Chains A and B, each alone.
Chain A
């Protein structure tokens, strides 16, 4: 154990792999020292585990109806009670983790790279390229996220895939703005001048030298935005434009529970808790990552 640690912390690594692993080890150690970040990481980990092992964690089927058992309060049999069709809310919340995780991952995979690349190109080239790209970005930014997503879902038709596409379309401009701002500060630095002087193509400069430096602020931002994405997805579900029944999407579940909120509070509250906790988890993790990855703070160990 001690030897692995020494190997990772070696000041003079002897291979590329060791240098990279050493950096990763240092960063994760710094992250571990931040209690809130660890809470966030645990929550996110729990979400991932719940999504992966849903069939084993859930106590009932998330979609089988049992009208005889409708609207039962939380009990030993039904940990979070049952909804108006007699479905176990705990099981639905657990399966809902899959949908939430899928939305979050797909939006991150679709929106973040697009925003990153557009922002970096705009920032690096400047001039009219910048003006056109940022003009488009501004048009998207000037509309509220939920309304924009709403408009796209309305045009594409309700459904979970369309909701994901709509949220991705609504989120990339934010990333493009950050990436551009970051690129502007990096573009004039001497290490970029130095590779340009060696004859590197613009493509090479952007991909190899600028993007890696933007990516840490992007990871932080995406993590912090996860909460917003979950809320937007829940919002779409709530107004019936996201996941369609009988899919156990958290927002849609709250929407269904609305009619019983006064007498059967658990129907709407339990998925609400799930949303709050997971959103908080991503926020904590994002804050922790900022402390560790931000070049102004990190890398001093």
Chain B
């Protein structure tokens, strides 16, 4: 079954159209990347799926159910989002424990702290971080908390918005390994937005290249690794990409 199908999606911010006629389909268990430069509309697509961007036309279907614009409590348990900036995505006055307990409280899930323990363990956060405030954590630890928060409701689809671009390379490697392991262990589906093609190559099965609000090419990660993308813009992106074979 397809985890996510998007047809003819046009998203507007006020008067201006940000994306034009987006079509894509992500299979269950697949890891799919949206690639492009800033202003290409890739993040906006994620925001429309999540329900933060509300003025769109077309259709978004997740796990066989059509989405309507806006946030939906039921959908929240199937799909969660991880944001780019680990400094801005955690409430500065709440401890890790409070941040992770909040989703459980919202959905009325009775729990005496075991689920928080469990999810912290699965993202590799030591117990001693549980009652720390965000300013007492490093960037990588904060991003682990953000991932834990997304996972605590046990969703099937994870929307990742540049989850590692604000991190140092060594921390990026840890988070990428973590995301890869979580996907394998929990059978998650990823839709990831990034500008880093090497990250796509490591973590994703397929990718769509976006430019000026349109998808210019959909390709497999294998094609990317072989440098066999067809669209001239995609090839340009590869050319500017800093990573090179060792």
Range class of the A interface residue count: 20 to 34
Cβ–Cβ < 8 Å partners of B83 in chain A: 190, 193-194
Interface string of B99-127 (1 = CB under 8 A from A): 00011001100000000000000000000
Interface string of A187-224 (1 = CB under 8 A from B): 00111011111111100100011001100000000000
Cβ–Cβ < 8 Å partners of A14 in chain B: 128, 130-131
CA distance A193 to B130 in the complex (A): 22
Q: What's the nearest-Cβ distance from chain B to residue A194, in Å?
A: 6
| B131 A18 Cβ-Cβ under 8 A | yes
- From known contacts A13-B131, A213-B93, infer whether A197 and B88 are also in contact, taking CB-CB under 8 Å: no
Closest to A194 in B: B89
Closest to B50 in A: A197
Q: Which of A193, A197, A300 contacts B76 (CB 8 A)?
A: A197
| A213 B92 Cβ-Cβ under 8 A | yes
Q: Which of B34-42, B61-69, B132-140, B206-214 contacts A (4 or more CB under 8 A)?
A: B132-140
Cβ–Cβ < 8 Å partners of B52 in chain A: 193, 196-197
CA distance A197 to B149 in the complex (A): 11
| A196 B97 Cβ-Cβ under 8 A | no
Interface membership of A295, Cβ < 8 A: yes
Interface residues in A48-68 (C-beta closer than 8 Å to B): none
Interface membership of B81, Cβ < 8 A: yes
- From known contacts A197-B50, A197-B80, A199-B72, infer whether A19 and B106 are also in contact, taking CB-CB under 8 Å: no
| A295 B81 Cβ-Cβ under 8 A | no
Cβ–Cβ < 8 Å partners of A23 in chain B: 133
Q: What's the nearest-Cβ distance from chain B to residue A292, in Å?
A: 14
CA distance A200 to B71 in the complex (A): 9
Interface residues in A1-39 (C-beta closer than 8 Å to B): 11-16, 18-19, 23
Closest to A208 in B: B102
Cβ–Cβ < 8 Å partners of B102 in chain A: 195, 198, 200, 208
| A16 B93 Cβ-Cβ under 8 A | no
Interface membership of B244, Cβ < 8 A: no
Interface membership of A299, Cβ < 8 A: yes
| A194 B131 Cβ-Cβ under 8 A | no
CA distance A201 to B105 in the complex (A): 11
Q: What's the nearest-Cβ distance from chain B to residue A27, in Å?
A: 12
Q: Which of B91, B107, B132, B136 contacts A209 (CB 8 A)?
A: B91
- From known contacts A195-B102, A196-B52, infer whether A189 and B88 are also in contact, taking CB-CB under 8 Å: yes
CA distance A190 to B89 in the complex (A): 5
- From known contacts A197-B71, A197-B76, A212-B93, infer whether A204 and B106 are also in contact, taking CB-CB under 8 Å: yes
CA distance A45 to B166 in the complex (A): 46
Closest to A15 in B: B131
Closest to A200 in B: B106
Cβ–Cβ < 8 Å partners of B128 in chain A: 12, 14
B51, B73, B91, B149 — most chain A CB neighbours (10 Å): B91
Q: Which of A19, A200, A299 contacts B131 (CB 8 A)?
A: A19
Cβ–Cβ < 8 Å partners of B80 in chain A: 197-198
| B51 A197 Cβ-Cβ under 8 A | yes
Cβ–Cβ < 8 Å partners of B95 in chain A: 16, 19
CA distance A204 to B135 in the complex (A): 24
Cβ–Cβ < 8 Å partners of B106 in chain A: 195, 198-201, 204
Cβ–Cβ < 8 Å partners of B85 in chain A: 190
| A19 B89 Cβ-Cβ under 8 A | no
Closest to B95 in A: A19
Interface residues in A138-175 (C-beta closer than 8 Å to B): none
- 13 more contacts with CB within 8 A, not counting A190-B89, A191-B91, are A11-B132, A16-B97, A16-B98, A23-B133, A191-B88, A191-B89, A193-B83, A194-B83, A195-B102, A197-B52, A199-B73, A200-B102, A200-B106
- The 3 A-B residue pairs with the shortest CB-CB distance, nearest first, are A199-B73, A12-B128, A199-B76
Where the two chains meet, the residues of B that have a C-beta atom closer than 8 Å to any C-beta of A are 50-52, 71-74, 76-77, 80-81, 83-85, 88-93, 95, 97-98, 102-103, 106-107, 128-133, 135-136, 146, 149, 153
